[in-house]
Structure 1
Amino acid sequence: MPRQERAQRTRQLLIEAASASFDQAGFAMTGLNDVIRPTGISKGALYFHFGSKEQLAEAVMAESRAGLREAIRSARHSSDCPLQYLIDLSHGLARRLAEDVVFRAGLRLTDDGALAEKLRPNPHPGWALMIRRLLDRAAARQGLRPEILTDESAALLAAAGAGVEALARRDPDWLSSRVISLLWQAVLPALTTPEGLARLRTTPVEHERAGVPAPGRPHPTDELRPDRPVATLAATPATRGVPGPDDTPSTPKGRPRVEAGRSGAPGHPAASADTPDRSISSRYQGT
């Protein structure tokens, strides 16, 4: 193996081993010995690539951001409808969180108080901004209810996504395609018009190709309707005030792998996009 290729392989093995430890133990409780032990790489080789644990964490977060950009690009190919793109992106991110420990560890590090704040970019404002822009595009196409406030709705959806990511650290079933679909079934009737609702798919695009029924639907050709029973976890976006008795509206504004790595670290089994309905989703169904 050429020297440069061997060096790149070693560097990637170190990133994945560090990710597995950061994901399970956090930054403070991860030691350099925890990183090199599963790889068989010497500490001298580690220091050749990374001068400190902080540099390792920065490399993990950089690769995690690259994974995020890849997920965004992949979702763009699924639909030119802004809301459908947002749904497909949420499924893609959930799948990546379940299956890719580097992506998962990078997100965890951004919230890890043991890592210096200057090294921890805050992704949440960027998420809310991207979601708001998609909602603005949907509104311009008459794809939202006219009373919807896109700023407040974007903040709500960004918070819901952050909550799912946090809950999945203890229970990976939160990342299953069934749970993500149920969450969208709860939100969409309050967000979009009945006509827009009928055109949206809440399951991953690969389910549509395979003919997999959506949660709560007896047949894949059934459309999601406002009068259809959905998950009981309701999330209603903020709306503009309705006119009062005097008709005056209210005023709100409008690669090489470490075995414990990509498939999930020990003690944190990966939930695939097709994870069967288990504890969380069954609770939503009232069982």
Structure 2
Amino acid sequence: MTRKLRAEQTRATIVKAAAELFDKHGYESASLRDIVTHANVTKGAVYFHFATKEDLAHAVMDTQHNSFSRSMADIDRSGYSSLEILIRATFEMARQMGRCSIARASLRLAMSGISLNRPLHDAVGDWMKNVAGRLDDAMREADIDTEVEVEGAARALVYFLVGSRVAGSASRPAHEMGREVAEMWRFMIQALVPEVRRRRYLDLVAGLEQ
């Protein structure tokens, strides 16, 4: 194994350990000493990659952003309609939250309101813009009723996703999170989608829930 590969693996181990502690205890309660112990590395190894705990918070956020961006790129290349892309993306988000401490820690960091020298990436704001854009596209594709107020629908969808993660237990199995997303979409489809197109998307949600 090359020195570069070892360094990359060590860095990933440290980021994962930090995410697990941020997810379980919160950013402010997790010390660098705790992270060193949890990662089973030396203090020097941590400081080689990260000067401060704040740098680790940014690394957790960036890792999740890159992971979800890759998932979205795969979905985008599929040729699905805009609404189907959005539905699949929310199930993918639920899957990651159920299985990945980095995903959960990223959301907890985004919602924590902690004051850092360099503000954290506004993940929730980005989700809101992305969802609104997908709904706009879906309206042009006649999958969303033209009377729908897109910004309000985007807020409702994102607030549900964020709220269900914040209010619920991080240890819930992934299939339970998927069920909650399915329940949300059954309601949203009834409210947003013209009747003639609802069955297609209700069937999609039922399949993804499995």
* Corresponding residue of 1:250: none
Partner secondary structure for residue 39 of structure 2: coil
* Corresponding residue of 2:189: 188
For the residues of structure 2 that align with 1:108 and 1:69, how far apart are their CA atoms?
19
| 1:169 to 1:117, Cα distance in 2 relative to 1, 3 A | farther
8 A Cα contact 1:145 1:192, kept in partner? yes
For the residues of structure 1 that align with 2:107 and 2:44, how far apart are their CA atoms?
28
For the residues of structure 2 that align with 1:93 and 1:3, how far apart are their CA atoms?
34
* Corresponding residue of 2:177: 176
For the residues of structure 1 that align with 2:178 and 2:36, how far apart are their CA atoms?
34
Structure 1 unaligned regions, length at least 5? 213-287
For the residues of structure 1 that align with 2:136 and 2:155, how far apart are their CA atoms?
13
TM-score (norm 2): 0.89
Aligned length: 207
Instruction: Write the mapping of 1:12-51 to structure 2, written as runs, cut at 5 A.
Output: 12-51=12-51
Deviation at 1:131, TM superposition (A): 1.3
Q: Deviations over 1:75-105 (max 9, x none)?
A: 3245521111111110000001111111221
**Identical positions, percent:** 25
Of residues 127-136 and 82-91 in structure 1, the stretch that sits farther from structure 2 once superposed is 127-136
| 1:117 to 1:68, Cα distance in 2 relative to 1, 3 A | farther
Do structure 1's residue 202 and structure 2's residue 205 form an aligned pair? Answer: yes
8 A Cα contact 1:82 1:134, kept in partner? yes
Larger radius of gyration: 1
* Corresponding residue of 1:221: none
For the residues of structure 2 that align with 1:143 and 1:96, how far apart are their CA atoms?
27
Of residues 121-130 and 83-92 in structure 1, the stretch that sits farther from structure 2 once superposed is 121-130
| 1:97 to 1:32, Cα distance in 2 relative to 1, 3 A | same
Q: Deviations over 1:200-221 (max 9, x none)?
A: 111455x6xxxx5xxxxxxxxx
TM-score (norm 1): 0.66
Q: Deviations over 1:241-261 (max 9, x none)?
A: xxxxxxxxxxxxxxxxxxxxx
Alpha-carbon RMSD: 2.1
Structure with more of its chain in helix, by fraction: 2
* Corresponding residue of 1:104: 104
* Corresponding residue of 1:167: 167
Structure ranking higher on relative contact order (CA contacts 8 Å, 6+ apart): 1
* Corresponding residue of 1:260: none
* Corresponding residue of 1:220: none
Deviation at 1:155, TM superposition (A): 1.7
Deviation at 1:26, TM superposition (A): 0.9
For the residues of structure 2 that align with 1:142 and 1:66, how far apart are their CA atoms?
31
Do structure 1's residue 93 and structure 2's residue 104 form an aligned pair? Answer: no
| 1:54 to 1:204, Cα distance in 2 relative to 1, 3 A | farther
For the residues of structure 2 that align with 1:137 and 1:109, how far apart are their CA atoms?
30
8 A Cα contact 2:190 2:198, kept in partner? yes
The amino acid that maps onto 2:158 is: A
Deviation at 1:117, TM superposition (A): 6.7
Of residues 34-43 and 185-194 in structure 1, the stretch that sits farther from structure 2 once superposed is 34-43
8 A Cα contact 2:16 2:102, kept in partner? yes
